[in-house]
Amino acid sequence: MSEWTRYLKRTVLFGGLGLFCFFAAAPFLIMLINTFKQDADLYRPQNNPFIYNFPPTLENLHLLFLNTNYPVFVRNSLIVGVLVVLITLVVAIPAAYSLARLAGRWGEQAGIAIFLVYLVPPTLLFIPMFRMVTAVNLNDSLWSLVMVYPTISIPFSTWLLMGFFKSIPRDLEEAAMVDGYSRLMSFIKVVMPLSLSGVVAVIVFTFTLTLHEFIYALTFISSSSNRTISVGVPVELIRGDVFFWQSLLAAAVLVAIPVSVIYVFFLDRIVAGFTMGAVKG
């Protein structure tokens, strides 16, 4: 292969990769730019969407933070997310280990049956869920979301972690027990460190789920002080037929940035978690 051919192939490869990256990043770039645009700049089709045709403004952020309960929405989302992650880990880890190691032949079938629960859409379940929430007097409370969200996160997390636990050779646990560890200690000292990628994938999946879930949050929560980001932002920034687009985009950007940073730092573990769980489960 000549040097010219090699150079041409690399140019095509990196050129195509650059176009793909721009295509993927362009919506987020436009969101960030439009956050600081004036209405006169945003609503003129002739204007270039990637530049400021008029001076940028902070009025959109002022509207978001001072004229809505956005800081309260963020706090509520963090509270619900952390609690749901903890509940999911406490239930899914022992359930997955039991099905992978202690359940015998029917463990895999039970894991698949549990995963099928995850596939049931919330649009079919929010009415019976609402009746259950009302029966225990948790309507219009963050605890209603803390109670309901694990019904979505636990089935998938259990199935995912089952694949990780199955991928770990039993010989490692047996060797640890021969050295004097109990099954519980061998699980903590041997299995859990090797399953860290799966645990990270579960944490990121569960927390992201609580951020973007809409149906249950809209059904169970009615007061502004208890709303999460996914419901509070569109409810307060879409008033009749008036859309405060810049403030809506600002709210989305402020949530997307920390989530993106988490994905970047834990990308390898997240990919390993989902792929190994899918193959071995």
147/171 same-domain check:
yes
Q: Are residues 266 and 163 in the same domain?
A: yes
Tell me: do 27 and 142 sit in the same domain. Answer: no
Question: What's the CATH code of the domain at 233?
Answer: 1.10.3720.10
Residue 39 shares a structural domain with residue 103: no
| 254-277: average pLDDT | 70
Distance CA 225, CA 10 (A): 54
Q: Give 273 or 19, the one with higher predicted confidence.
A: 19
Average pLDDT, the chain: 84
User: Residue 280 pLDDT more than 70?
Assistant: no
∠ CA 239-127-206 to the nearest 5 degrees?
80
Q: What is the mean pLDDT of residues 172-188?
A: 82
Q: Which of 14, 30, 62 is the last residue of a domain?
A: 62
The pLDDT tens digits for 73-95 are 999 999 999 999 999 999 999 98
The predicted pLDDT at position 160 comes to 84
Query: Could you report the per-residue pLDDT of 36-73, keeping only the tens digit for each?
Result: 999 888 888 888 888 888 899 999 999 999 888 999 99
Residue 281: what pLDDT? Answer: 43
pLDDT at 165: 84
Query: Both 44 and 112 in a single domain?
Result: no
Q: Do both 197 and 86 map to the same domain?
A: yes
Same domain membership, residue 170 and residue 97 = yes
Shared domain for 26 and 120, answered yes or no, is: no
Above 80 in pLDDT, residue 231?
yes
Asked if residue 153 and residue 79 are part of one domain, the reply reads yes
Number of domains in the chain: 2
54 and 153, same structural domain?
A: no
Residues 118 and 218 in one domain: yes
pLDDT digits (tens, 9 = 90+) for 192-207: 888 888 888 888 889 9
Domain boundary (26, 46, 62) is at 62
Residue-range definition of the domain harbouring residue 30: 3-62
Asked if 81 and 191 sit in the same domain, the reply is: yes
